[in-house]
Structure 1
Amino acid sequence: MALMVLATILSTCEANNGIDALPQPAKCYEIRFHCPWACQARCADNRKDKLCNRICNICCSKCNCVPPGTGEDTRYLCPCYDEITNSEGSKLKCP
């Protein structure tokens, strides 16, 4: 059963790649990043851990990555995560 689902997904991705008018799906063959585990580790030392986890998971679902560790010094390892700002563009949104 799982093999049939995987074959369907791969054939859909390959079918989309064959059409020139559509943009190529960038994530067809990527393995989905496990956001809850990564965010739990990222927010381990945060005093507002529930809020940190909620926001981190939102950022992770958009970027499909979370910087390792708990500090600011590793944010550059996930550029998308590092560039998400609040609605005014003045503060970084992701913890």
Structure 2
Amino acid sequence: MASNSKFLLLLIISIFLVSLSQVSSSSSSEAGIEAQAHQPQVVKGPNRRFLGFVDCGSLCAVRCGKHSRPNVCTRACGTCCQRCNCVPPGTHGNREQCGSCYTDMLTHGNRPKCP
């Protein structure tokens, strides 16, 4: 009888330890997933608006590269990029790809702010 109760106690303790190790490993994997979610993603293409991190400087330099007033364009583009996390592809047009944030922003003179 004593050996059966010792075996049962050992079995219960081992099940408890296994379940405890599974809980700790799942919480550490969740922490790893959360750490990966905060890392910036770099994706090239038209879907830039879906990223958490956008390199505004280089994207605005391309966008304003052929503008007649590149410094003014780059400054406005940088403001729009920081607020909307998006820069449309190309040097002109395609503003609708960044959504309403980019297209609806106006200057004090009620003209479109974002190039």
> C-alpha displacement at 1:58, in angstroms?
0.7
Aligned residue identity for 2:75: R
> C-alpha displacement at 1:81, in angstroms?
1.3
Q: Percent identity?
A: 37
5+ long unaligned stretches in structure 1: 1-6, 12-29
Q: Secondary structure at the match of 2:65?
A: coil
- Do structure 1's residue 50 and structure 2's residue 107 form an aligned pair? no
Alignment of 1:1-95 (within 5 A): 10=34, 31-72=52-93, 74-79=94-99, 80-88=101-109, 90-95=110-115
- Over residues 21-59 of structure 1, what are the superposed CA-to-partner deviations in whole Å (9 max), with x where a residue is unaligned? xxxxxxxxx531110011001001101001111110011
User: Is the radius of gyration larger for structure 1 or structure 2?
Assistant: 2
Structure 2 distance, partners of 1:66, 1:54, is 13
Structure 2 distance, partners of 1:82, 1:92, is 7
Give the length in aligned residue pairs. Answer: 68
Aligned residue identity for 2:96: Y
Q: TM-score, structure 1 length as denominator?
A: 0.63
